[in-house]
Amino acid sequence: MNITEEEKEAVYKTIYNRRDTRGEFLPDEISDEVINRILDAAHHSPSVGFMQPWDFIVIKDKDVKQDIKNAFVVAHDEAKEMFDDEKKNIYSKLKLEGITEAPIGICITCDRNRTGDTVIGRTANLEMDLYSSVCAVQTLWLAARAENLGVGWVSIIHHEELKEVLDIPSHITPIAYLCIGKVSHFHDKPELEKAGWLPRLPLENLVHHDKW
């Protein structure tokens, strides 16, 4: 199936306008139909050996979200002490999550044993199933942006704490906790870029030909 010029432009627009959303969430509810659409999009992500190792935990309960927020605060306070004074000052002012503000949380996980010990494509590099679940994260993120929903990846949290709060089985690996919801606006640039944390690197400095 060929992609039309209009469809191609829409895909690139979605990619370039994807943002990590934190402080812009609105309390508006999201319909189950929309949630199912973005989950179905994520479920159509590529996976090594077609093992489809992901599961999706949809969180709406306020108490559960507060428990996740509490776990974030612990990891956030630890992280703050890892930076030098200048970075610590910037870090302290950043809004780095929207756990309780976002109407929906989705945790994406990886079942590394889903299709047995030996998986096509995972024989030389055993981490390929983890990468597959990350593909599901990105696909869901782009689908949500196409639905004009904001998404924020909460990476500042200990996975063991997340597993405890969400009753995730011991053999399952958490990949991402995502905050999802309608937003007041999308930033024209990533917030960390606007805050002066780091600049976007020039593409020409990152492209190599034939060898490094």
pLDDT tens by residue, 31-45: 999 999 999 999 999
Q: Is 41 a member of any domain?
A: yes
Q: Across the chain, what does the average pLDDT equal? A: 96
Is there a domain that residue 7 lies in? no
pLDDT at 31: 97
Q: What is the CATH number of the domain that holds 77?
A: 3.40.109.10
pLDDT of residue 86: 86
Has residue 191 been placed in a domain? no
pLDDT value at residue 196: 87
Angle at 198 between CA 127 and CA 71, to 5 degrees: 55
Q: Which domain holds residue 125?
A: 19-184
Our count of domains for the chain comes to 1
User: Strand, coil or helix: what is 55?
Assistant: strand
Q: Convert the pLDDT of each residue in 174-191 to its tens digit.
A: 999 999 999 999 999 998
Domain for residue 11, yes or no?
A: no
Sequence-distant (≥ 6) Cβ neighbours of residue 87 within 8 angstroms: 197
pLDDT digits 0-9 by tens, 68-78: 999 999 999 99
| Predicted pLDDT of residue 73 | 97
Looking at the predicted structure, is the pLDDT value of residue 120 above 90?
yes
* pLDDT at residue 12 in the model: 98
User: Of all helices (H) and strands (E), which one includes residue 178?
Assistant: strand 172-181
Other beta carbons less than 10 A from residue 38's beta carbon: 26
Neighbours of 97 (CB within 10 A): 25
